[in-house]
Amino acid sequence: MQQQAEITKTPASTTAPTEDEAPALPPLRPALFARYTDLESLRYDYPLVLLETGDGGPLFRPLSRIVDDVLSVAAPPDASGEAMRQQVLRLEARIRRNVALGREGMLSDLWQDNATRMVKESGQSPFGSLGTNLDIARKRLTLDGVVIGCDHTTPGKVVTHTWRAKQNAKARRFRRKVEGLILRLTDILKSDHMKSDEAHSAGALASAMGQDQDSSIDFGSLSRILDRARPEDRLPEDRVRRIKTALEALQCQPFFGPGRATEICRRRPAPYSYTFDSCAAALDALRERLPAILEFTKAVTIAELEVENKYRPDLHDPIFETFDVSDLTADQMELLPGSLILLHDGVTESAEIARAFEALAGGLQITVLIQVDDILGPTSPEPPRNSFGAGTARLASMAMGLNNAFVLQASSAHLYRMQEAFQRGIQHQGPALFSIYSGATRTVPGVPPYVLSAAATESRAFPNFTYDPSAGSDLAARFNLAHNPQVGVDWPEHRLDYETADGERQSEALPFTFADFAIGDVRYQRFCHPAAQDDWTPDMVPFGQAGSGPGAKDRIPEPYVLGLTPENGLLRVGVDDKIVQAAARCNDAWRRLQELAGINNSHALRLLSEERKNREASAIEIAAALPTADATPALPEAPPSPVQLAQEPAPEPTGDDPWIETARCTTCKECTQINSALFKFDENMQAYIADPDAGTYRQIVEAAESCQVSIIHPGQPRNLEEADLDELRERAKPFL
Amino acid sequence: MNASMSQCLMQMVHTDYVIADYQSEIAPRWCTGCGDTAILTAMQRLCRDEQLPPEKTVCVSGIGCASRLPHYMNAYGFHGIHGRALPVAEGIKIRRPDLNVFVTTGDGDCCSIGAAHWLHAIRYNMNMTLLLHDNNVYGLTKKQASPTSPQGMKSNTTPFGATLNPLNPLTVTLGVSNVSFVAQAVDWIPDLLYDILRQAYHHKGFSFVRILQRCPNFMEHRFDDWVRDPSKMRILTHANGLRLKPEVSRVYKNQETHDPLDMPRALALAALKEEIPVGILYRDPTVPCYDELRAGERPSTPGLVELVLNEEFDKVGIWPAETAPAAAGE
């Protein structure tokens, strides 16, 4: 939030806002808000286009970026494209104004509608330069979606859009899986049917040829010469019944709509609805769906077993007979749609928060949005109201403790910049909590929600962070605080330029603190004491530096922040203890988040200081021991020699016994055909000598001679009585 | 991530396949001493060691001695038409990607009548394993010259000796775009044959394994020089390729370390004349597979097929305005 303001210090010297329709500004605003009263003239992250894209694509994109993309391809980069650039930017400004007035819609419609009006108002022909250029640019629009502004409805719209994208991706996965199973089960039944007498009948054969009444083929004869079905070739009846039951349950599932070309099922009920505005309603609906979930999950599991041919009735029947809720696993539930629960601070009952946390902790497939419109809460205990209270900014931090839920906290102003985190939230398998500050706080009048929500993040009142349990096993991988400005410091600093009463230009680096954020809220203005320059006292110290100035102990400091009058006059605003204490609490919470993110981690700092002390102490010891040290330091041990991976080859058998190099045998069966008792195959179908006495020496020598790869070694004859031994010994020599 | 319920339930069904589970009731009719038996054994060992369910395994073949292999495997088989084993196998794979598809073919079946399918199968790079039984002859038809017969070989069709230089299936395969796995084995070193088949099976893509195979009846002395002299066999080893057992290493000492990603060296090795290279010449697991590229977003259920066909027919149908079919979108 780099801000520059040019402000006169004397209120009287400024001109009042000229636009009558501008909402009344609050009596006090933080000084750094000076330049952000009219957002319509700025190109920023809103209006945001909620993109209709497929799996894994971007979820949303600011209108200004889309227009830039269009211009980069439609308008020539030189001066000849300048006219088109100006015209398209005017169109963009016009759309932005309309969206701010609540006229939201599809980008393509808004573009067309506003372009037509612009051309009409300009008095040009639709075929003039304006109409032609806007039309050329429109044809370059590749993205489309609903255009939304930044107001109290933004968090709901963005999270619903994100949730829908997740459900669409889920629906695709679901249909792929379920239809794959349907296809395979149908295949099994069809192949069984093909073996039946019915499939071989003359009628079936004729119909397989189409409806052309061709009499040239005698289907009756054809049927008679085909094999008759054998009962043992058919599937068992119980298996057919099981497959048909599972098939029907898959075809009639009520969880996702039928999509394109899913099997038509007459008894298919209307798909369930999954969006709720209370946890109680969501849990009731889940209870109602449970029997259908059980039936469907059972069918999927049976189908998976059947297509792998792994269903064994004796093993699996008892399991499916007692299949109940306790058998449902997270991956089975992940296949089914999750619920979206939209909770709204100030609208939903406070007790819903406890229910939401319970549901999240239970690992149910739910996405909860807690929309926060008011961070500061009442300034004093008030009668119970329909609100989550001042702790709303801490709900997401608390949800991190659940450990299994994806948690995202963000202000509306940063949604686009946290798009990647939203995409991770979609991919997370399990519950998710989104806590979003809309910036539409009623007690801060006149400040646009976008500015206020950005200020909430800048002041650390509502920091942006994500906690993604699926990103890794440690906190460093899971927790991300990077989407905050100047994340390493307590309060981010920005430069403020202003003009003094003497017309002198001044520039000052200002921290944007919790106190700056609080002074804009009308409820807190009774704890603020604006002081014009004449009333400034030496006891006034900038907020955050109290207690550190010279002679601080001698006087009570009066912390102040710089504020603005409605006329953009610069004031010092003294802040009360109430605000100082609230700021301290806010700072404390921020430091805790910093520590979680590894910034100024107290454990690490403590270890570091201990290590430093130890090092210093050991350095002193070494220095003291040096004069007497004469022993040469021991050489480091030689690294162990690498393990001998190659095994020693098995020694060749020596002596007089016949043997075979079994590992080289090619299973050619020459030897086993000579004597199948003497030569046998091992478990790898390779020959070995099973019993050297089961045959003659002649057979062994003949086998050695006929062996194609010469791996039979005959050794010496075992029976010295055998005939022609001398001749056989001579023939065996080449193979010994 | 924990196993799903179905996976747990499947694990309850204990299977322990042994080689006999992959042997069919038909005894091999190959001649005694034929190298095809070594290839069949290596296939059955592979199936057993990988515990491939017979009902999830398909062997597809064309025509020839080698193409009889599906008869001897207890698995799904398709003894098809001459040279057309690959189109059939591709159809099976694209419709049933869950099946383990093996194609057995000979040098005539693959490199002559089936040459067009062979080239395109390499380019498609579908996930299957091709075993080219190369005995340099048409053996089933009693000795005719095949595309890989050596020049000068006398046969029934070339009584004065084969006229042309033989075709080298390795260099041809290496030259086709999208090639992802090329290996050469010989039937007389069964350990390496098995190891190469195992690596081919685990490769995701089209694995081309040329297996030099002895024909004891019609090419009886064709490979004698190499069978008898292990030093003429060049064994290609690599950390990402073959690792030799000591028994094999002791006999086959002519070894070369060859990185399977080194295409220029693979081409040089494939073109060796005096020595026979054995091992993985080329392997690139990053080449995309046609079956995955073409996998539809939705399975082609009968409902989808019917709907798409009807939509196409409706495009050319003439409808009275009031009965025009509504667009069936999501």
Indicate whether this model's pTM tops 0.90: no
Q: Give yes or no for residue A195 having a pLDDT over 90.
A: no
pLDDT tens digit sequence for A605-654: 889 999 999 999 998 888 888 765 444 444 444 444 433 344 455 556 66
Does the residue A196 lie in any domain? no
What per-residue confidence (pLDDT) applies to A175? 87
Residue of B nearest to A320 (CA): B9
Other C-beta atoms closer than 10 Å to the C-beta of B12 total 12
∠A685-B231-B136 over CA atoms, to 5°?
65
Does the residue B24 lie in any domain? yes
Cis omega (within 30 of 0) on the bond before A636?
Answer: no
Shortest CB distance from B329 goes to which of A260, A686, A710? A260
Q: What is the mean pLDDT of chain A?
A: 83
Instruction: Give the integer Cα–Cα distance in Å for A555 and A537.
Output: 12
Q: Give yes or no for residue B306 having a pLDDT over 90.
A: no
Decide which of A35 and A308 is more confident.
Answer: A308
Hey, are the CB atoms on A683 and B18 less than 8 Å from each other? Answer: yes
What is the nearest CA distance from B34 to chain A, expressed in angstroms? Answer: 6
Instruction: Give the integer Cα–Cα distance in Å for B31 and B52.
Output: 28
Q: Give yes or no for residue B254 having a pLDDT over 50.
A: yes
Does B330 lie at the interface with A, CB-CB under 8 angstroms?
Answer: yes
pLDDT tens digit sequence for A242-258: 999 999 999 888 888 76
pLDDT grade, residue B329 (50/70/90)?
very low
Q: What is the 3-state secondary structure (H, E, C) of A377-391?
A: CCCCCCCCCCCCCHH
What is the nearest CA distance from A362 to chain B, expressed in angstroms? Answer: 18
In total, chain B counts a number of residues equal to 330
Instruction: Give the integer Cα–Cα distance in Å for A456 and A439.
Output: 8
Does B152 lie at the interface with A, CB-CB under 8 angstroms?
Answer: no
Q: Give yes or no for residue A501 having a pLDDT over 90.
A: no
Shortest CB distance from A668 goes to which of B9, B33, B298? B33
Q: Which of A87, A118, A149 corresponds to the end of one domain?
A: A149
What was the ipTM of the complex prediction? 0.80
Average pLDDT over every residue of A320-328: 87
Domain count across chain B: 1
Does B320 lie at the interface with A, CB-CB under 8 angstroms?
Answer: no
Does the residue B322 lie in any domain? no
What is the nearest CA distance from A75 to chain B, expressed in angstroms? Answer: 36
pLDDT grade, residue A390 (50/70/90)?
low
Identify the residue among B9, B17, B221 best suited for mutation to test binding to A, counting A beta carbons within 10 A and taking the highest: B9
∠A382-A385-A389 over CA atoms, to 5°?
80
Instruction: Give the integer Cα–Cα distance in Å for B324 and B314.
Output: 9
Identify the residue among A709, A710, A713 best suited for mutation to test binding to B, counting B beta carbons within 10 A and taking the highest: A709
Contacts of A452 (CB under 8 A, 6+ apart): A439, A440, A441, A444, A520
What is the nearest CA distance from B56 to chain A, expressed in angstroms? Answer: 9
Does the residue B39 lie in any domain? yes
Q: What is the mean pLDDT of chain B?
A: 92
Instruction: Give the integer Cα–Cα distance in Å for A347 and A153.
Output: 13
Does the residue B103 lie in any domain? yes
Shortest CB distance from A708 goes to which of B33, B44, B250? B33
Full domain range(s) for residue A98: 47-149
Does B188 lie at the interface with A, CB-CB under 8 angstroms?
Answer: yes
Strands A432-437 and A406-411: parallel
- DSSP-derived 3-state class of residue A61: strand
Contacts of A148 (CB under 8 A, 6+ apart): A46, A47, A48, A49, A50, A99, A104, A154, A157, A158
What per-residue confidence (pLDDT) applies to A313? 93
Contacts of A423 (CB under 8 A, 6+ apart): A56, A59
Full domain range(s) for residue B50: 5-296
Q: Give yes or no for residue A549 having a pLDDT over 50.
A: no
Average pLDDT over every residue of A462-487: 91
Among A492, A673, A704, residue whose Cα is nearest residue A590: A492
Hey, are the CB atoms on B246 and A319 less than 8 Å from each other? Answer: no
Q: What is the CATH number of the domain that holds A679?
A: 3.30.70.20
Hey, are the CB atoms on A685 and B44 less than 8 Å from each other? Answer: yes
What is the nearest CA distance from B162 to chain A, expressed in angstroms? Answer: 26
Residues of A in contact with B27 (CB under 8 A): none
Shortest CB distance from B301 goes to which of A257, A261, A664? A261
Does the residue B200 lie in any domain? yes
Does the residue A714 lie in any domain? yes
Q: What is the 3-state secondary structure (H, E, C) of A181-204?
A: HHHHHHHHHHHHHHCCCCCCCHHH
Shortest CB distance from A310 goes to which of B13, B19, B216? B13
Identify the residue among B194, B301, B307, B330 best suited for mutation to test binding to A, counting A beta carbons within 10 A and taking the highest: B301
Residue A8 DSSP code: B
Does the residue A144 lie in any domain? yes
In percent, the amount of chain A with pLDDT more than 90 equals 32
Does the residue B41 lie in any domain? yes
Q: Give yes or no for residue A1 having a pLDDT over 70.
A: no
B125 Ramachandran zone, left/alpha/beta (phi>0; psi -120 to 50):
left
pLDDT grade, residue B47 (50/70/90)?
very high
Q: Which of A124, A149, A174 corresponds to the end of one domain?
A: A149
Q: Give yes or no for residue A261 having a pLDDT over 50.
A: no
Does the residue B330 lie in any domain? no
pLDDT tens digit sequence for A422-452: 888 877 888 999 999 998 888 888 888 999 9
What per-residue confidence (pLDDT) applies to A631? 47
Q: Which of A89, A118, A149 corresponds to the end of one domain?
A: A149
Identify the residue among A187, A324, A685, A706 best suited for mutation to test binding to B, counting B beta carbons within 10 A and taking the highest: A685
Region of poorest pLDDT, from A668-672, B32-36, B293-297: B293-297
Q: Give yes or no for residue A389 having a pLDDT over 70.
A: no
Domain count across chain A: 2
Does B16 lie at the interface with A, CB-CB under 8 angstroms?
Answer: no
Q: Give yes or no for residue A231 having a pLDDT over 70.
A: yes
Q: Give yes or no for residue A166 having a pLDDT over 60.
A: yes
Q: What's CA A144's distance to the chain center, in Å? A: 22
**Number of A–B residue contacts, CB under 8 Å:** 145
Shortest CB distance from A669 goes to which of B32, B187, B302? B32
Identify the residue among A185, A667, A712 best suited for mutation to test binding to B, counting B beta carbons within 10 A and taking the highest: A667
Among B125, B87, B126, residue whose Cα is nearest residue B105: B87
Hey, are the CB atoms on A262 and B34 less than 8 Å from each other? Answer: no
Region of poorest pLDDT, from A2-11, A374-383, A576-585: A2-11
What per-residue confidence (pLDDT) applies to A8? 34
Q: What is the CATH number of the domain that holds B56?
A: 3.40.50.970
Among B174, B196, B304, residue whose Cα is nearest residue B244: B196
Does the residue A727 lie in any domain? yes
Region of poorest pLDDT, from A214-218, A450-454, A712-716, B257-261: A214-218
Does the residue A692 lie in any domain? yes
Does the residue A255 lie in any domain? no
Does the residue B19 lie in any domain? yes
Hey, are the CB atoms on A261 and B303 less than 8 Å from each other? Answer: yes
What is the nearest CA distance from B209 to chain A, expressed in angstroms? Answer: 17
pLDDT tens digit sequence for B231-241: 999 999 998 88
pLDDT grade, residue A2 (50/70/90)?
very low
Contacts of A728 (CB under 8 A, 6+ apart): A697, A698, A701, A717, A722
The C-alpha torsion from A20 through A24 and A25 to A28, rounded to 10°, is: 140
CA atoms within 13 A on the CB side of A191: 8
Structure tokens at A530: 């604006």
Cα A101 to Cα A95, A374, A578, distances in angstroms: 10, 23, 37
Structure tokens at B275: 């020595």
Please check whether residue A305 is in contact with residue A331, taking contact to mean a CB–CB distance below 8 angstroms: no
Decide which of A354 and A317 is more confident.
Answer: A317
Angle between helices A107-122 and A129-139 (to 10 degrees): 170
Decide which of B93 and A626 is more confident.
Answer: B93
The C-alpha torsion from A421 through A425 and A428 to A430, rounded to 10°, is: 140
Strands A558-564 and A339-344: unpaired
Shortest CB distance from A182 goes to which of B2, B301, B330? B301
What per-residue confidence (pLDDT) applies to A9? 36
- B277 forms beta bridges with B234
pLDDT grade, residue A18 (50/70/90)?
very low
